[in-house]
Structure 1
Amino acid sequence: MSTADAVDREVAWLTSSGDGLPALLTGAGGQWQNVQAYMPRSPGRRGSNVYVLRRAIREERFANQRRMAVHEFHLKLVWPLSNGTGSSEADQRAFDVAVDDVLTRIGGYPGDHSHGGRFRSVAESPHWVDVRFEDPAITVPADAEFRAEITYSADDAEFNG
Protein backbone atom coordinates (compact mmCIF):
# COMPACT_ATOMS: atom_id res chain seq x y z
CA MET A 1 0.00 0.00 0.00
CA SER A 2 1.08 3.53 -0.73
CA THR A 3 -0.01 6.85 0.72
CA ALA A 4 -0.63 7.94 -2.87
CA ASP A 5 -3.56 5.55 -3.38
CA ALA A 6 -5.36 6.09 -0.04
CA VAL A 7 -8.08 8.31 -1.53
CA ASP A 8 -8.76 5.77 -4.28
CA ARG A 9 -8.93 2.96 -1.71
CA GLU A 10 -11.48 4.92 0.31
CA VAL A 11 -13.58 5.66 -2.78
CA ALA A 12 -13.53 1.93 -3.60
CA TRP A 13 -15.01 1.26 -0.15
CA LEU A 14 -17.60 4.02 -0.38
CA THR A 15 -18.79 2.81 -3.79
CA SER A 16 -19.02 -0.85 -2.73
CA SER A 17 -22.46 -2.41 -2.63
CA GLY A 18 -24.19 -5.70 -1.92
CA ASP A 19 -22.31 -6.18 1.33
CA GLY A 20 -25.05 -5.50 3.88
CA LEU A 21 -24.18 -1.83 4.34
CA PRO A 22 -26.07 0.95 2.56
CA ALA A 23 -25.13 1.42 -1.08
CA LEU A 24 -24.31 5.03 -1.82
CA LEU A 25 -24.51 5.17 -5.63
CA THR A 26 -27.91 5.46 -7.30
CA GLY A 27 -26.97 2.69 -9.74
CA ALA A 28 -26.72 0.30 -6.77
CA GLY A 29 -29.87 1.56 -5.03
CA GLY A 30 -28.28 4.44 -3.10
CA GLN A 31 -29.02 8.14 -3.13
CA TRP A 32 -25.78 9.63 -4.45
CA GLN A 33 -25.31 10.13 -8.19
CA ASN A 34 -21.55 10.47 -7.90
CA VAL A 35 -18.88 9.43 -5.41
CA GLN A 36 -15.43 10.27 -6.67
CA ALA A 37 -11.84 10.85 -5.66
CA TYR A 38 -10.75 14.48 -5.70
CA MET A 39 -12.57 17.65 -6.65
CA PRO A 40 -13.13 18.20 -10.37
CA ARG A 41 -12.16 21.49 -11.96
CA SER A 42 -15.79 22.18 -12.80
CA PRO A 43 -18.02 20.40 -10.29
CA GLY A 44 -21.34 19.26 -11.71
CA ARG A 45 -24.44 21.15 -10.70
CA ARG A 46 -27.87 19.82 -9.84
CA GLY A 47 -26.56 16.43 -8.79
CA SER A 48 -25.89 14.65 -5.51
CA ASN A 49 -22.12 14.38 -5.20
CA VAL A 50 -19.57 13.12 -2.71
CA TYR A 51 -16.00 14.25 -3.33
CA VAL A 52 -13.35 12.38 -1.34
CA LEU A 53 -10.31 14.48 -0.51
CA ARG A 54 -7.43 14.11 1.86
CA ARG A 55 -6.68 17.00 4.16
CA ALA A 56 -3.51 15.64 5.77
CA ILE A 57 -1.10 12.72 6.08
CA ARG A 58 0.74 12.14 9.34
CA GLU A 59 3.45 9.57 9.77
CA GLU A 60 3.50 8.22 13.28
CA ARG A 61 6.73 6.64 14.49
CA PHE A 62 6.94 4.12 17.31
CA ALA A 63 9.23 1.35 18.54
CA ASN A 64 12.14 3.14 16.85
CA GLN A 65 11.67 1.14 13.63
CA ARG A 66 7.96 1.17 12.91
CA ARG A 67 5.95 3.82 11.07
CA MET A 68 2.31 4.19 10.18
CA ALA A 69 0.66 6.66 7.82
CA VAL A 70 -2.49 8.31 9.17
CA HIS A 71 -4.77 9.92 6.59
CA GLU A 72 -7.29 12.61 7.40
CA PHE A 73 -10.13 12.22 4.92
CA HIS A 74 -12.34 15.13 4.04
CA LEU A 75 -15.60 14.43 2.18
CA LYS A 76 -17.44 17.29 0.50
CA LEU A 77 -21.13 16.49 0.08
CA VAL A 78 -23.40 18.42 -2.29
CA TRP A 79 -27.17 17.83 -2.42
CA PRO A 80 -29.40 19.68 -4.91
CA LEU A 81 -32.60 21.48 -4.10
CA SER A 82 -34.83 19.32 -6.27
CA ASN A 83 -38.20 18.76 -4.61
CA GLY A 84 -40.87 19.44 -7.21
CA THR A 85 -43.24 20.89 -4.63
CA GLY A 86 -40.77 23.62 -3.70
CA SER A 87 -40.29 22.19 -0.22
CA SER A 88 -36.78 22.95 0.94
CA GLU A 89 -37.57 21.07 4.14
CA ALA A 90 -38.22 17.80 2.27
CA ASP A 91 -34.88 18.10 0.47
CA GLN A 92 -33.09 18.79 3.75
CA ARG A 93 -34.65 15.66 5.26
CA ALA A 94 -33.59 13.62 2.25
CA PHE A 95 -30.08 15.04 2.62
CA ASP A 96 -30.01 13.98 6.28
CA VAL A 97 -30.93 10.41 5.27
CA ALA A 98 -28.26 10.37 2.55
CA VAL A 99 -25.64 11.69 5.00
CA ASP A 100 -26.63 8.97 7.47
CA ASP A 101 -25.98 6.35 4.76
CA VAL A 102 -22.48 7.77 4.26
CA LEU A 103 -21.87 7.66 8.02
CA THR A 104 -23.05 4.05 8.21
CA ARG A 105 -20.69 3.06 5.40
CA ILE A 106 -17.79 4.93 7.03
CA GLY A 107 -18.53 3.12 10.32
CA GLY A 108 -18.25 -0.22 8.56
CA TYR A 109 -19.08 -3.54 10.16
CA PRO A 110 -19.21 -4.15 13.88
CA GLY A 111 -15.80 -5.45 14.85
CA ASP A 112 -14.19 -4.67 11.48
CA HIS A 113 -13.43 -1.07 10.70
CA SER A 114 -10.74 -1.76 8.10
CA HIS A 115 -12.99 -0.93 5.13
CA GLY A 116 -12.64 -4.37 3.66
CA GLY A 117 -8.94 -4.67 4.53
CA ARG A 118 -8.04 -1.45 2.70
CA PHE A 119 -6.74 0.14 5.92
CA ARG A 120 -5.65 -0.97 9.37
CA SER A 121 -8.59 0.95 10.82
CA VAL A 122 -10.89 3.79 9.83
CA ALA A 123 -12.66 6.33 12.06
CA GLU A 124 -11.14 4.72 15.15
CA SER A 125 -8.42 7.15 16.20
CA PRO A 126 -9.37 9.78 17.06
CA HIS A 127 -12.66 8.27 18.09
CA TRP A 128 -14.93 10.49 16.07
CA VAL A 129 -16.32 11.33 12.68
CA ASP A 130 -17.12 15.03 12.32
CA VAL A 131 -20.02 16.25 10.14
CA ARG A 132 -20.47 19.96 9.49
CA PHE A 133 -23.47 21.27 7.58
CA GLU A 134 -23.24 24.59 5.77
CA ASP A 135 -25.96 27.16 6.38
CA PRO A 136 -28.82 26.53 3.90
CA ALA A 137 -29.81 30.20 4.17
CA ILE A 138 -26.60 30.85 2.21
CA THR A 139 -26.25 27.76 -0.02
CA VAL A 140 -29.87 27.52 -1.23
CA PRO A 141 -30.30 31.07 -2.60
CA ALA A 142 -26.79 31.15 -4.06
CA ASP A 143 -26.51 27.65 -5.58
CA ALA A 144 -29.83 25.83 -4.97
CA GLU A 145 -28.05 23.13 -2.98
CA PHE A 146 -27.23 21.89 0.50
CA ARG A 147 -23.65 21.15 1.51
CA ALA A 148 -21.86 19.34 4.29
CA GLU A 149 -18.35 18.17 5.05
CA ILE A 150 -17.31 14.97 6.81
CA THR A 151 -13.87 14.55 8.36
CA TYR A 152 -12.37 11.33 9.77
CA SER A 153 -9.07 9.51 9.88
CA ALA A 154 -7.74 6.20 8.61
CA ASP A 155 -4.65 4.36 9.83
CA ASP A 156 -2.64 2.51 7.22
CA ALA A 157 -0.67 -0.67 7.78
CA GLU A 158 2.54 -0.35 9.78
CA PHE A 159 5.86 -0.63 8.01
CA ASN A 160 9.56 -0.63 8.88
CA GLY A 161 11.45 2.54 8.18
Structure 2
Amino acid sequence: MRDLSLGDVVYINGPVVTGRDDVHIRALEYLDEGKPVPNCLEGAVVYHCGPIMRKMDSGRYSVVAAGPTTSARMNSLEPRFIREFGIRAIIGKGGMSQEVAEAMKEVGCVYLAATGGAAVSLAEGLSTVTGSEWEDLGMPETMWKFETNRLGPLVVAMDSKGNSLYEQVRNGLKREY
Protein backbone atom coordinates (compact mmCIF):
# COMPACT_ATOMS: atom_id res chain seq x y z
CA MET A 1 0.00 0.00 0.00
CA ARG A 2 2.89 2.36 0.70
CA ASP A 3 3.93 2.12 -2.96
CA LEU A 4 0.59 3.44 -4.21
CA SER A 5 0.31 7.11 -5.17
CA LEU A 6 -2.53 9.56 -5.65
CA GLY A 7 -4.37 8.93 -8.89
CA ASP A 8 -3.26 5.31 -9.30
CA VAL A 9 -6.07 3.11 -10.59
CA VAL A 10 -6.28 -0.27 -8.90
CA TYR A 11 -8.38 -3.41 -8.88
CA ILE A 12 -8.67 -5.54 -5.75
CA ASN A 13 -8.26 -9.33 -5.79
CA GLY A 14 -8.68 -11.13 -2.48
CA PRO A 15 -10.66 -10.70 0.72
CA VAL A 16 -12.74 -7.60 1.40
CA VAL A 17 -15.20 -6.92 4.24
CA THR A 18 -17.98 -4.36 4.27
CA GLY A 19 -18.33 -2.03 7.20
CA ARG A 20 -20.51 0.97 7.79
CA ASP A 21 -21.26 2.91 10.99
CA ASP A 22 -22.66 0.03 13.04
CA VAL A 23 -19.80 -2.35 12.23
CA HIS A 24 -17.26 0.26 13.32
CA ILE A 25 -19.20 1.03 16.51
CA ARG A 26 -19.68 -2.62 17.46
CA ALA A 27 -16.10 -3.67 16.72
CA LEU A 28 -14.70 -0.86 18.86
CA GLU A 29 -17.22 -1.52 21.66
CA TYR A 30 -16.30 -5.21 21.62
CA LEU A 31 -12.62 -4.28 21.96
CA ASP A 32 -13.41 -2.01 24.90
CA GLU A 33 -15.48 -4.75 26.56
CA GLY A 34 -12.89 -7.47 25.97
CA LYS A 35 -15.20 -9.42 23.66
CA PRO A 36 -13.79 -11.24 20.63
CA VAL A 37 -13.82 -9.31 17.36
CA PRO A 38 -13.93 -11.17 14.03
CA ASN A 39 -10.33 -11.79 12.95
CA CYS A 40 -11.23 -10.90 9.35
CA LEU A 41 -10.73 -7.26 10.37
CA GLU A 42 -7.00 -7.69 11.01
CA GLY A 43 -5.14 -6.09 8.10
CA ALA A 44 -8.41 -5.87 6.16
CA VAL A 45 -9.60 -4.02 3.12
CA VAL A 46 -12.82 -2.41 4.35
CA TYR A 47 -15.50 -1.38 1.89
CA HIS A 48 -17.84 1.35 3.16
CA CYS A 49 -20.85 -0.28 1.59
CA GLY A 50 -24.30 -1.52 2.53
CA PRO A 51 -24.82 -4.10 -0.20
CA ILE A 52 -28.12 -5.45 -1.36
CA MET A 53 -27.95 -9.19 -0.83
CA ARG A 54 -30.13 -12.06 -2.05
CA LYS A 55 -30.54 -15.24 -0.04
CA MET A 56 -30.59 -18.21 -2.38
CA ASP A 57 -32.48 -21.49 -1.93
CA SER A 58 -29.24 -23.10 -0.73
CA GLY A 59 -29.14 -20.65 2.19
CA ARG A 60 -26.06 -18.92 0.79
CA TYR A 61 -26.06 -15.28 -0.24
CA SER A 62 -25.23 -13.52 -3.47
CA VAL A 63 -24.68 -9.80 -3.92
CA VAL A 64 -27.09 -7.84 -6.13
CA ALA A 65 -25.68 -4.32 -5.79
CA ALA A 66 -22.76 -2.90 -3.83
CA GLY A 67 -22.28 0.83 -4.22
CA PRO A 68 -20.05 2.86 -1.92
CA THR A 69 -21.50 4.83 0.95
CA THR A 70 -20.27 8.25 2.02
CA SER A 71 -17.13 7.59 4.05
CA ALA A 72 -17.16 10.86 6.00
CA ARG A 73 -19.89 9.33 8.16
CA MET A 74 -17.17 7.20 9.77
CA ASN A 75 -14.66 10.07 10.35
CA SER A 76 -15.00 9.99 14.14
CA LEU A 77 -14.53 6.20 14.31
CA GLU A 78 -12.06 5.50 11.53
CA PRO A 79 -8.73 6.69 13.02
CA ARG A 80 -9.01 4.29 15.95
CA PHE A 81 -10.46 1.55 13.73
CA ILE A 82 -7.47 1.81 11.36
CA ARG A 83 -4.98 1.73 14.23
CA GLU A 84 -6.63 -1.07 16.22
CA PHE A 85 -7.08 -3.43 13.27
CA GLY A 86 -4.19 -2.43 11.01
CA ILE A 87 -6.58 -1.64 8.17
CA ARG A 88 -4.70 -1.57 4.85
CA ALA A 89 -7.30 -0.01 2.55
CA ILE A 90 -10.67 1.68 2.76
CA ILE A 91 -13.00 1.75 -0.23
CA GLY A 92 -15.70 4.40 -0.27
CA LYS A 93 -16.80 7.68 -1.76
CA GLY A 94 -16.21 11.29 -0.83
CA GLY A 95 -12.96 11.00 1.11
CA MET A 96 -12.24 11.29 4.81
CA SER A 97 -10.86 13.75 7.36
CA GLN A 98 -7.31 14.85 8.12
CA GLU A 99 -7.42 12.77 11.33
CA VAL A 100 -8.13 9.68 9.24
CA ALA A 101 -5.30 10.62 6.87
CA GLU A 102 -2.91 10.74 9.84
CA ALA A 103 -3.96 7.25 10.99
CA MET A 104 -3.58 5.99 7.42
CA LYS A 105 -0.07 7.42 7.27
CA GLU A 106 0.90 5.71 10.56
CA VAL A 107 -0.48 2.30 9.57
CA GLY A 108 0.21 2.25 5.82
CA CYS A 109 -3.39 2.45 4.65
CA VAL A 110 -4.89 3.99 1.51
CA TYR A 111 -8.33 5.32 0.62
CA LEU A 112 -9.68 3.99 -2.65
CA ALA A 113 -12.48 5.98 -4.26
CA ALA A 114 -15.25 3.96 -5.86
CA THR A 115 -17.69 5.49 -8.30
CA GLY A 116 -21.08 6.29 -6.83
CA GLY A 117 -23.95 5.03 -8.97
CA ALA A 118 -21.97 1.99 -10.15
CA ALA A 119 -23.40 -0.44 -7.57
CA VAL A 120 -24.25 -3.24 -9.98
CA SER A 121 -20.92 -2.99 -11.79
CA LEU A 122 -18.98 -2.98 -8.50
CA ALA A 123 -20.98 -6.00 -7.28
CA GLU A 124 -19.54 -7.98 -10.20
CA GLY A 125 -16.10 -7.69 -8.56
CA LEU A 126 -17.40 -9.21 -5.33
CA SER A 127 -17.24 -12.67 -6.81
CA THR A 128 -17.98 -14.84 -3.77
CA VAL A 129 -19.71 -14.26 -0.44
CA THR A 130 -17.51 -16.07 2.07
CA GLY A 131 -19.52 -15.25 5.18
CA SER A 132 -21.00 -12.56 7.37
CA GLU A 133 -20.84 -11.24 10.90
CA TRP A 134 -23.45 -9.44 12.96
CA GLU A 135 -26.49 -10.03 10.72
CA ASP A 136 -28.61 -8.75 13.62
CA LEU A 137 -27.57 -5.25 12.51
CA GLY A 138 -29.65 -5.61 9.33
CA MET A 139 -28.62 -6.22 5.74
CA PRO A 140 -26.83 -2.92 4.99
CA GLU A 141 -25.01 -2.83 8.34
CA THR A 142 -23.95 -6.50 8.44
CA MET A 143 -20.23 -7.12 7.99
CA TRP A 144 -20.25 -9.08 4.72
CA LYS A 145 -17.12 -10.99 3.78
CA PHE A 146 -16.22 -11.36 0.12
CA GLU A 147 -13.56 -12.85 -2.07
CA THR A 148 -13.03 -10.35 -4.87
CA ASN A 149 -12.00 -10.68 -8.47
CA ARG A 150 -10.98 -7.36 -10.05
CA LEU A 151 -13.10 -5.17 -7.80
CA GLY A 152 -12.84 -1.75 -9.37
CA PRO A 153 -11.69 0.38 -10.98
CA LEU A 154 -10.77 2.22 -7.79
CA VAL A 155 -8.72 5.41 -7.60
CA VAL A 156 -6.14 6.06 -4.88
CA ALA A 157 -7.65 9.27 -3.51
CA MET A 158 -5.74 9.33 -0.20
CA ASP A 159 -2.35 7.67 -0.02
CA SER A 160 -0.31 6.37 2.91
CA LYS A 161 1.94 9.42 2.77
CA GLY A 162 -0.81 11.80 3.94
CA ASN A 163 -1.70 13.12 0.48
CA SER A 164 -5.35 13.61 -0.51
CA LEU A 165 -6.93 14.41 -3.85
CA TYR A 166 -9.84 15.92 -1.92
CA GLU A 167 -7.51 18.34 -0.10
CA GLN A 168 -5.81 19.25 -3.36
CA VAL A 169 -9.19 20.13 -4.88
CA ARG A 170 -10.25 22.13 -1.78
CA ASN A 171 -6.96 24.04 -1.76
CA GLY A 172 -7.27 24.73 -5.47
CA LEU A 173 -10.76 26.10 -5.01
CA LYS A 174 -9.60 28.39 -2.20
CA ARG A 175 -7.02 29.93 -4.54
CA GLU A 176 -9.64 30.44 -7.25
CA TYR A 177 -11.98 32.52 -5.06
* TM-score, with structure 1 as normaliser: 0.30
Per chain length, whose mean CA-contact separation is higher, i.e. which structure has more relative contact order (CA < 8 Å, sep 6+)?
Answer: 2
Q: Which has the higher strand share?
A: 1
Q: Which has the higher helix share?
A: 2
CA radius of gyration, larger in: 1
* TM-score, with structure 2 as normaliser: 0.28
